């Protein structure tokens, strides 16, 4: 953690970092598990993920960085999926907001 707070990374970034590291040296068991998870669940490239997050930032001022990163990693496909991301947050998106988020995600999938 930096002095400004946590630095979030996407699952796509984790995949890239661990892949690069595994090419240099033998990675730990835990890192290997994390890489396997990333390889299984990452659907977008780092560039696509960054574009998606930028669009979420521009269009949904009620989303903080943590929610943006979670959304980019999970890529929910329905309103319940969007709401599950907001479960720990004070804000609950309306049906319209959730549908708008889903429509943004669909552009990248």
Domains and CATH numbers, the chain: 11-41 (no CATH), 46-106 (1.10.150)
Mean per-residue pLDDT, 80-102 = 96
**Residue 99 predicted with pLDDT over 70:** yes
By the 8 A CB rule, do 86 and 93 touch? Answer: yes
By the 8 A CB rule, do 36 and 75 touch? Answer: no
**Residue 90 predicted with pLDDT over 50:** yes
Q: Which 8-state DSSP code applies to residue 26?
A: P
Q: Residue 80: pLDDT band by 50, 70, 90 thresholds?
A: very high
**Residue 6 predicted with pLDDT over 80:** no
């Amino acid at each position: 953690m930096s002095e400004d707070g946590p630095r979030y990374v996407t699952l796509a970034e984790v995949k890239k970092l661990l892949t690069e590291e595994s090419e240099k040296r033998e990675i730990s068991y835990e890192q290997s598990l994390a890489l396997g998870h990333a390889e299984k669940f990452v659907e977008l490239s780092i560039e696509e993920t960054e574009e998606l997050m930028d669009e979420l930032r521009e269009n949904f001022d009620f989303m903080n960085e943590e929610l943006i990163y979670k959304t980019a990693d999970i890529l929910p496909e329905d309103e319940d999926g969007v709401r599950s991301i907001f479960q720990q947050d004070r804000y609950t998106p309306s049906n319209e907001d959730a549908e708008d988020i889903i429509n943004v995600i669909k552009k990248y999938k």
